[in-house]
Amino acid sequence: MEIHELSIQGIRQALVSGQYSSHEITGALLQRIAEENPRLNAFVTVTGELALAQAKVADSRRARGEQGPLLGVPVAHKDIFCTRGVRTTCASRMLENFVAPYDATVIRRLQESGMVMLGKLNMDEFAMGSSNETSHFGPVRNPWNPARVPGGSSGGSASALAARLVPAATGTDTGGSIRQPAAFCGVTGLKPTYGRVSRYGMIAFASSLDQGGPMARSAEDCALLMDAMAAHDPLDSTSHAQADGQFYAGLDRSLEGLRVGVPEEFFGEGLDPQVAEAVQSAIRQFEKMGARIRKVHLPNNVHAVSTYYVLAPAEASSNLARFDGVRYTRRASCPRDLTDLYTRSRYEGFGPEVRRRILVGTYVLSAGYYDAYYLQAQKVRSLIREDFRRAFAEVDVIVGPATPTTAFALGDKSNDPVAMYLADIYTIAVNLAGIPAISLPCGFDRSGMPVGMQIMGNYFADEQLLAIAHQYQLQTGWHLRSPGQQGRG
pLDDT band at 356 (very low <50, low <70, confident <90, very high): very high
Does the active-site annotation cover 333? no
pLDDT single digits (tens) 235-259: 999 999 989 999 999 999 999 999 9
Number of compact structural domains in the chain: 1
Task: Give a yes or no: residue 228 inside a domain.
Answer: yes
pTM for the complete prediction?
Answer: 0.96
Taking the CB of residue 215, how many other CB atoms lie within 10 A of it?
32
Question: What's the confidence (pLDDT) of residue 7?
Answer: 98
Rounded to 10 degrees, the C-alpha dihedral 253/255/260/262 comes to 110
Task: Give a yes or no: residue 131 inside a domain.
Answer: yes
Cβ distance 75 to 169 under 8 Å?
A: yes
Question: What's the confidence (pLDDT) of residue 453?
Answer: 98
Question: What's the confidence (pLDDT) of residue 485?
Answer: 63
What is the mean pLDDT of the segment spanning 118-127?
A: 98
Active-site residue (options: 7, 21, 22, 78): 78
Angle at 172 between CA 408 and CA 422, to 5 degrees: 35
Mean per-residue pLDDT of the chain:
96
Question: What's the confidence (pLDDT) of residue 372?
Answer: 94
Task: Give a yes or no: residue 67 inside a domain.
Answer: yes
Active-site residue (options: 22, 130, 177, 345): 177
Least confident of 155-169, 318-332, 378-392: 318-332
Question: What's the confidence (pLDDT) of residue 328?
Answer: 77
Question: What's the confidence (pLDDT) of residue 296?
Answer: 98
Task: Give a yes or no: residue 428 inside a domain.
Answer: no
Is pLDDT at 486 greater than 90 in this prediction?
Answer: no
Is pLDDT at 489 greater than 70 in this prediction?
Answer: no
What is the mean pLDDT of the segment spanning 26-50?
A: 98
Task: Give a yes or no: residue 220 inside a domain.
Answer: yes
What CATH number has the domain bearing residue 240?
3.90.1300.10
Does the active-site annotation cover 177? yes
Domain that holds residue 119: 3-256
* DSSP H or E segment with residue 33: helix 22-40
Write the CB contacts of 296 (distance below 8 Å, at least 6 apart in sequence).
261, 262, 263, 264, 391, 394, 395, 398
pLDDT single digits (tens) 313-336: 999 999 999 999 998 788 999 999
Active-site residue (options: 7, 131, 153, 345): 153
Question: What's the DSSP call for residue 218?
Answer: S
Is pLDDT at 338 greater than 50 in this prediction?
Answer: yes
Does the active-site annotation cover 22? no
Is pLDDT at 488 greater than 80 in this prediction?
Answer: no
Task: Give a yes or no: residue 374 inside a domain.
Answer: no
Question: What's the confidence (pLDDT) of residue 114?
Answer: 98
Task: Give a yes or no: residue 196 inside a domain.
Answer: yes
Task: Give a yes or no: residue 105 inside a domain.
Answer: yes
Q: Can you tell me the distance from the alpha carbon of 152 to that of 424, in angstroms, rounded to the nearest whole number? A: 10
pLDDT band at 1 (very low <50, low <70, confident <90, very high): confident
Would you call the peptide bond into 153 cis, given omega within 30 degrees of 0 as the criterion?
yes
